[in-house]
Amino acid sequence: MSQKVLLNSKEVNITLHRLACQLIENHDDFSNTVLIGIQPRGKFLADRLAQLLSQEYNIKNIQLGHLDITFFRDDFRRGEKPLEANTTEINFIVENKDVVFIDDVLYTGRSIRSALTAIQSFGRPNNIELLTLIDRRFSRHLPIQPNYRGRQVDAIDLQKVKVNWVENEGEDTVYLIDK
C-alpha cells in the first residue's frame, strides 16, 4: 500500500481560507445562512471553517450544526459490520435558511443524498449548497456536484482519499492511498 500527499498542512490552511472567502462572497454576514457538517468526517471541516470565519474574518453569530446521516443511508443494514451512529447537533430551525452542507470528500454522492433526506426533519431550507475539501469527480453515482471545492482529484476506484485533521489524527494532510 503506497500513499501520496495531495495537500500538506500549509496547502490545507490556504484552501480553508479560500473556501471561507468564497462563503463570505456568497453569504455576506451569514444572517440567513447555517453551516452543517456531515458526520463523521465533515464535522472537522465545518468546525474549522466556522472558527476561521469568526476569528479571522469577524463574522458574528455563525450557526453551526452537525448532521448524522447513518439511518438515512441506502446501505444501512447491507454490510456485514453494523454502521455506528454519530450525534446530530442542530440547535436551530433550518426553515427558510440557506444551508451549506460541509463534508471532507465528495465521492459517490450517496452521503449527500442521505443528508438531503435527513435535513428535512429540521425544516424546509430556502437553499442548500455543498462545500467539500476534496471532489473525486469521476466517481459519482448520483448527479451531485459541489458549489465550493477545495481541490478536485481524479482518483480511480481502487484508490482512497484520506483527510487527516490535526484535531483527530494529529496532522492536517490529505493523502491519496493505493490499496
Pairing of strands 63-67, 98-106: unpaired
Residue % of the chain over a pLDDT of 90: 81
Residue 74: predicted pLDDT: 62
Q: Which amino acid, 25?
A: E
- pLDDT bracket for residue 83 (50, 70, 90): low
Is there a contact between 108 and 70 (Cβ–Cβ < 8 Å)? no
Mean pLDDT over each residue of the chain, to the nearest integer: 92
Write down the pLDDT at residue 125. 97
The answer, yes or no, to whether residue 179 has pLDDT greater than 90, is no
- Distance (Å, whole) CA 74 – CA 43: 21
For position 177, what pLDDT does the model report?
94
Q: pLDDT tens, 28-48?
A: 999 999 999 999 999 999 999
pTM: 0.93
How do strand 33-38 and strand 63-67 relate by DSSP bridges? parallel
Q: What is the 8-class DSSP label of residue 68?
A: -
Reported as a single tens digit per residue, the pLDDT across 119-150 is 999 999 999 999 999 999 888 899 999 999 99
Asked if the model's pLDDT at residue 51 lies above 80, the reply is yes
Domains of the chain, by residue range, sit at: 9-27+34-156
Task: Confirm if 160 and 132 have CB atoms less than 8 A apart.
Answer: no
Nearest to 110 by CA among 151, 159, 74, 70: 74
DSSP at 120: G
Query: Under 8 Å CB-to-CB from 160, ≥6 apart: which residues?
Result: 176, 177, 179
Which run of H or of E encompasses 16?
helix 9-27
Q: Does domain 9-27+34-156 have CATH number 3.40.50.2020?
A: yes
Segment 88-111, tens digit of pLDDT: 999 999 999 999 999 999 999 999
Task: Specify the higher pLDDT residue, 92 or 86.
Answer: 92
Q: Average pLDDT of 61-85?
A: 76
The reported pLDDT for the residue numbered 23 is 98
Gyration radius from the chain CA atoms: 16
Res. 75: pLDDT tops 90: no
DSSP state of 171: S
